[in-house]
Structure 1
């Protein structure tokens, strides 16, 4: 089992069951206790969990960190990111939103002749070693827990730019195709990105249907394409298609 998959399973178990012993995790995952301890050390360093006597417990932070969310549905997000990367053409100017699925897209852009504009610091860290990519980091207030830049400085910077394609994430998609967010500071940035792109592409794993969120980002009419692993027949997919959105299933 790959480490990333073990991280995902460990976090799922801890969130569902509370503190769990190393021996129990080893038995559940089918790996040695030494492997579990190494995994717990890495997850602890990312701020995802707290070590307790003989085991670990999930972090009690009110907002999940970027690293925590990255462990959820990792394989699905990577497949979505890989498929989205196939939509990119050399020479494209791209806006990359915050979010862990968009980060997986960035990993599949390495070596491409493109320009990437982003407020996603995880995307920046992923692409900054690649000399083939023209990388533009937008300004703003640092939202440390989610590795992103937000605020009016970010929105104003986006309004001065023009992109061929925007790849964006979401906290949830309602049954009528409305995109939602759980963080108020992200909403104006996402709206500015939609307005500044010729094509808006939503990357959303199945858990985002319906997902969560209390702040409306946009209606389905603001989107051009959705790339997802959601099941065919999901009501939101029908609503998106009815509004002229192309749905790409992976």
Structure 2
């Protein structure tokens, strides 16, 4: 089993059970306890879980939205500004959760468009804009990251037919796979892709490869990636080989 696959399953177990043990995981995957310890240490270093005494681990709350917002802010602002140029009057736009997508919403103010979102941060940016038609998807509020998730969100997305969706991401792997760190966000992103004629990914240079461990989709589902010049050139070439447009910010 690949390391990334095993670590993804460790996170799934955490989300289901709240905690895991080294011995239990070693038995489950048929590997040594030292291998599991390395996995847990790696996931802990990425902020995806918290180590506890005795070799166990529990999933922490996600890094607060306000903290993520200040990371690589100048790069995110460039990406958001460039992405806004891809939106035309009359478009129906799905905007994902995330700090870069919230900046995108700021650049869309005053446009004759419809915005559909489950991001509370995007709602805050556009709630007082009389020009934009704002449609809010329902769901369970994930307070720490200013978003709504769950079956209600996914069901609402199934009724939408959007011109384009703009996705945030935790990372893009060297093979072009789009990733996320939170299991409950993955089906929402996948529903956005299914409901949109085009899929744009907003990824500043730090997202190559980023910290995502859960696969959202392959490059075949992506129309374009908006990024800046520090992005990994090898990954960008892989994206282009899959007919993904790379839009420079």
TM-score tier after normalising by the smaller chain length: 0.7 to 0.9
Give 3-state SS (helix, strand or coil) of 1:112's partner: coil
Deviation at 1:75, TM superposition (A): 1.1
- Aligned-pair RMSD on alpha carbons? 1.1
Deviations 1:16-73 (A, max 9, x none): xxxxxxxxxxxxxxxxxxxxxxxxxxxxxxxxxxxxxxxxxxxxx7421111100011
Indicate how the Cα distance of structure 1 residues 233 and 187 shifts in structure 2: closer, same or farther if over 3 A, else same.
Answer: closer
Deviation at 1:231, TM superposition (A): 2.9
Give yes or no for the alignment of 1:241 onto 2:209.
no
The TM-score normalised by the length of structure 2 is 0.75
- Kept in 1, the 8 Å contact 2:163–2:197? The answer is yes
Give yes or no for the alignment of 1:130 onto 2:129.
yes
State the alpha-carbon separation in 2 of the partners of residues 153 and 210 from structure 1. Answer: 31
Aligned position for 2:74: 75
Aligned position for 2:157: 158
Give 3-state SS (helix, strand or coil) of 1:165's partner: strand
Aligned position for 1:107: 106
- Kept in 1, the 8 Å contact 2:205–2:232? The answer is no
Structure 2: which 5+ residue stretches go unaligned? 1-59
State the alpha-carbon separation in 1 of the partners of residues 71 and 231 from structure 2. Answer: 21
- Kept in 2, the 8 Å contact 1:165–1:199? The answer is yes
Residues 202-221 of structure 1 aligned to structure 2 (within 5 Å): 202-221=201-220
State the alpha-carbon separation in 2 of the partners of residues 174 and 112 from structure 1. Answer: 34
- Kept in 1, the 8 Å contact 2:208–2:231? The answer is no
Aligned position for 2:186: 187
The count of corresponding residues between Structure 1 and Structure 2 is 190
- Kept in 1, the 8 Å contact 2:61–2:144? The answer is no
State the alpha-carbon separation in 2 of the partners of residues 169 and 64 from structure 1. Answer: 15
State the alpha-carbon separation in 2 of the partners of residues 130 and 202 from structure 1. Answer: 24
State the alpha-carbon separation in 1 of the partners of residues 204 and 231 from structure 2. Answer: 13
State the alpha-carbon separation in 2 of the partners of residues 232 and 182 from structure 1. Answer: 20
Deviation at 1:139, TM superposition (A): 0.3
- Kept in 2, the 8 Å contact 1:176–1:235? The answer is no
- Kept in 1, the 8 Å contact 2:96–2:189? The answer is yes
Deviations 1:201-220 (A, max 9, x none): 00000100000122110000
State the alpha-carbon separation in 1 of the partners of residues 215 and 231 from structure 2. Answer: 24
Structure 1: which 5+ residue stretches go unaligned? 1-60
Deviations 1:218-249 (A, max 9, x none): 00010001100143652211111000000011
State the alpha-carbon separation in 2 of the partners of residues 71 and 62 from structure 1. Answer: 18
